[in-house]
């Protein structure tokens, strides 16, 4: 094998190494993209869950009775009745 042949072989090895490094970088980039996509899917799922909760809450408000409305607002019937009684007592 002459010197020229060895130099060309060395150049080929160098090129192969460069290609291998580039491929590794591409795989790393692809992995990062995959991870980003997974994060996006998680966020979409979280938003869907939140929307479902909002629809459920809206539906429960539509079918709400006055008693359940008072309960949701934290007003107790006895407290409300007592306040009415005190109004009449003042008059």
Residue 26 reports pLDDT greater than 80 = yes
Average pLDDT over residues 4-19: 78
Please list, residue by residue across 46-67, b when 16 or more beta carbons sit within 10 angstroms of its beta carbon and e when fewer do.
eeeeeeeeeeeeeeeeeeeeee
Q: Using DSSP, state whether 1 is helix, strand or coil.
A: coil
Q: Using DSSP, state whether 51 is helix, strand or coil.
A: helix
Domain count for the chain, please give it: 1
Identify the domain containing residue 60 by its residue range: 3-90
CA dihedral in degrees (78, 84, 90, 91; nearest 10)?
A: -150
Q: Which residue has the higher pLDDT, 84 or 68?
A: 68
Confidence of residue 89 (pLDDT cuts 50, 70, 90): low
Residue 2 reports pLDDT greater than 80 = no
């Amino acid at each position: 094998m002459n010197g020229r042949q060895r130099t060309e072989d060395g150049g080929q090895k160098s090129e192969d190494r460069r290609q291998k490094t580039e491929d590794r970088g591409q795989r790393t980039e692809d992995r990062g993209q995959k991870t980003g996509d997974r994060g996006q899917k998680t966020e979409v799922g979280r938003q869907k869950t939140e929307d479902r909760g909002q629809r459920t809450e809206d539906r429960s408000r539509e079918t709400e009775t006055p008693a359940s409305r008072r309960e949701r607002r934290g007003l107790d019937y006895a407290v409300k009745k007592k306040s009415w009684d005190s109004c009449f007592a003042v008059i």
